[in-house]
């Protein structure tokens, strides 16, 4: 089938590549010419595991192409995926200007039947707004469908190719039949395809992300309480997770959730509630707790050094908001760095993928080491912000040699308490005894 994907962020790029992989003829549209030229040469503009191989393979096969022209994109596909950004505006609502801007263009250029499929995370009522925006300019028949994506960064290709569920929000039988066809390779392999009205579909995405953010925040609060009563949150987490109604996934405590989705979506759902005169009190608390959780290690660091951080060298392992990505949006590391710099510390960091992005953002406010051990040279403490696999089984002897003092503040609970004791480290983590 001929498919167009408008927007080549990680959702658009993964969607386009994976749909080409299942045999469709895909044209990806992006207004950024530099990016399009790069992709035409076979270069993936983001870091996403597994994507590079599929990308190259499908470009070679001729099934994956790129353009900057919306018109060309619109002429190409019967199904037009919108994978456009919906950033947070100043008051926490989703900024729909990209989505509605493209809807205006579609309205002006559409000449035959199209299914416009919204992949972006958007407030309830957006599909209707897109429909009305297109209709202002044309009498041409078309359908607008809500089809939220549930891809995790770092696992996006796997999540796309083996989704747990595919949600299609529309009452158009014609659109349903077309989408069923392109999703057939996945439903044949057992993925659930759920068809519902468009508003419920739009809300399912916000409710899912907000629920997961709440689950993380809940265990973070339990962790904070564990520290006060001397319990070990890892034990509590395992105990809780053994109940299948609770489940053991997304129950890892740490220095808060970040990324381009959870923070923005929780705020947007809270804001949508307000607009309907409904106060999502729970979400308000989640936003608040997460804000302070991101810097939960700072008072511990202050306590350890008796409040004197000026001129002290602190090493940071992990800058990305989570492993397997170079994305630093809303990363806890940035809040941590902000606070430690304010307190006068010198920061040396290491991250396998995200250093260029942080360099662009912070310039020379902090320094960047060539590897994880070099970062520790003469540092008075190590602070761990992201749970990259390479940090999980380090050479403790080497770490101890490099560090000026064997002190670790771990925001992701990577190490065993007993082991750290026997290796001779001062080890402070989240929700576990020191
Ligand atoms: C999230 C959702 O998991 C996807 O299902 C969704 O499609 C996506 O948002 C989106 O809306 O596009 P993502 O933001 O890539 O995916 O990252 P997650 O793996 O969900 O992690 C989010 C944050 O939660 C990270 O900062 C991570 O460190 C934190 N987290 C996650 C925890 O602190 N504890 C956990 O147990 C799990």
Compute the mean pLDDT over every residue in the chain, rounded to the nearest whole number.
Answer: 96
Assess whether pLDDT exceeds 90 at residue 267. yes
Assess whether pLDDT exceeds 90 at residue 256. yes
Using a pLDDT cut of 90, give the percent of the chain over it. Answer: 93
Q: Give me the pLDDT at residue 190, please.
A: 84
Is the CB–ligand 1 distance for residue 198 below 6 Å?
A: no
Residue 434 lies in a domain: no
Rounded distance between C-alpha atoms, residue 332 and residue 294, angstroms: 5
Q: Give me the pLDDT at residue 163, please.
A: 94
Q: pLDDT tens digits for 165-192?
A: 999 999 999 999 999 999 999 988 888 9
Rounded distance between C-alpha atoms, residue 359 and residue 353, angstroms: 12
CATH of the domain at 237: 1.10.1040.10
Q: Give me the pLDDT at residue 261, please.
A: 92
Q: pLDDT tens digits for 216-230?
A: 999 999 999 999 999
Q: Give me the pLDDT at residue 307, please.
A: 86
Q: Which atom of ligand 1 is nearest to the CA of 256?
A: 33
Assess whether pLDDT exceeds 90 at residue 407. yes
Assess whether pLDDT exceeds 90 at residue 32. yes
Is the CB–ligand 1 distance for residue 330 below 6 Å?
A: no
Mark which of 293, 318, 340 sits at the end of a domain: 293
Say which of 28, 226, 261, 385 is annotated catalytic.
Answer: 261
Q: Which residue has the higher pLDDT, 187 or 144?
A: 144
Average pLDDT over residues 111-135: 95
Assess whether pLDDT exceeds 90 at residue 433. yes
Q: 152 alpha carbon to ligand 1 midpoint, in Å?
A: 6
Mark which of 240, 258, 293 sits at the end of a domain: 293
CA distance to 3, 57, 332, 350, per residue, from 24 (Å): 7, 13, 39, 40
Is the CB–ligand 1 distance for residue 10 below 6 Å?
A: no
Is the CB–ligand 1 distance for residue 153 below 6 Å?
A: yes
Q: Are residues 308 and 418 in the same domain?
A: yes
Rounded distance between C-alpha atoms, residue 171 and residue 242, angstroms: 39
Assess whether pLDDT exceeds 90 at residue 73. yes
Q: Give me the pLDDT at residue 93, please.
A: 83
Rounded distance between C-alpha atoms, residue 60 and residue 68, angstroms: 20
For β-strands 114-118 and 192-196, DSSP reports them as unpaired
Q: Are residues 143 and 6 in the same domain?
A: yes
Using a pLDDT cut of 70, give the percent of the chain over it. Answer: 100
Assess whether pLDDT exceeds 90 at residue 46. no
> Mapping DSSP to helix (H, G, I), strand (E, B) and coil, where does residue 93 land?
coil
Average pLDDT over residues 31-35: 95
Q: Give me the pLDDT at residue 50, please.
A: 92
Whether 28 is a known active-site residue: answer no
Residue 62 per-residue DSSP state: T
Q: Which domain holds residue 258?
A: 205-293
Give Cα 347 distance to the centre of its chain. Answer: 25
Residue 56 lies in a domain: yes
Residue 14 lies in a domain: yes
């Amino acid at each position: 089938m001929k498919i167009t994907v408008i927007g080549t962020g990680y959702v658009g790029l993964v969607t386009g590549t994976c749909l080409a992989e299942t045999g469709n003829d895909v044209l990806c549209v992006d207004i950024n010419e530099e990016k399009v030229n790069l992709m035409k040469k076979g270069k993936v503009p983001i870091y996403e595991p597994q994507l590079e191989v599929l990308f190259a393979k499908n470009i070679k096969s001729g099934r994956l192409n790129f353009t900057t022209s919306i018109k060309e994109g619109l002429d190409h596909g019967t199904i037009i995926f919108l994978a456009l950004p919906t950033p947070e505006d100043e008051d926490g609502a989703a900024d729909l200007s990209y989505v509605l801007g493209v809807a205006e263009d579609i309205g002006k250029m559409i000449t035959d039947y199209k299914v416009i499929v919204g992949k972006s995370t958007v407030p309830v009522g957006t599909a209707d707004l897109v429909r009305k925006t297109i209709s202002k300019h044309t009498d041409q028949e078309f359908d607008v469908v809500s089809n939220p994506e549930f891809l995790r960064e770092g696992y996006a290709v796997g999540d796309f190719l083996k989704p747990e569920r595919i949600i299609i929000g529309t009452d158009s039988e014609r659109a349903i039949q077309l989408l069923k066809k392109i999703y057939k390779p996945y439903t044949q392999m057992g993925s659930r395809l759920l068809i519902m009205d468009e508003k419920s579909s739009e809300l399912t995405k916000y409710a899912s992300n907000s629920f997961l953010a709440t689950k993380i925040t809940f265990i973070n609060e339990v962790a904070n309480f564990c520290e006060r009563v001397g319990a070990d949150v890892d034990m509590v987490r395992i105990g809780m997770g053994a109940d299948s109604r609770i489940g053991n996934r997304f129950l890892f405590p740490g220095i808060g959730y970040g990324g381009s989705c959870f923070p923005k979506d929780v705020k947007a759902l809270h804001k949508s509630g307000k607009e309907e005169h409904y106060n999502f009190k729970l979400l308000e608390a989640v936003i608040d707790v997460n804000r302070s959780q991101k810097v939960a290690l700072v008072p511990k660091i202050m306590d350890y050094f008796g409040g004197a951080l000026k001129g002290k060298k602190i090493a940071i392992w992990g800058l990305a908001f989570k492993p397997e990505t170079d994305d630093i949006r809303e990363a806890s590391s940035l809040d941590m760095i902000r606070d430690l710099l304010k307190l006068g510390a010198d920061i040396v960091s290491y991250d396998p993928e995200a250093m260029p992005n942080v360099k662009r953002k912070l310039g020379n406010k902090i320094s960047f080491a060539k590897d994880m051990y070099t970062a520790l040279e003469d540092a008075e403490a190590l602070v761990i912000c992201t749970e990259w696999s390479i940090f999980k089984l380090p050479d403790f002897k080497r770490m101890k040699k490099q560090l000026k003092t064997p002190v670790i503040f771990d925001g992701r609970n990577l190490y065993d308490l007993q082991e750290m004791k026997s290796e001779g480290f001062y080890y402070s983590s989240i929700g576990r005894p020191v």
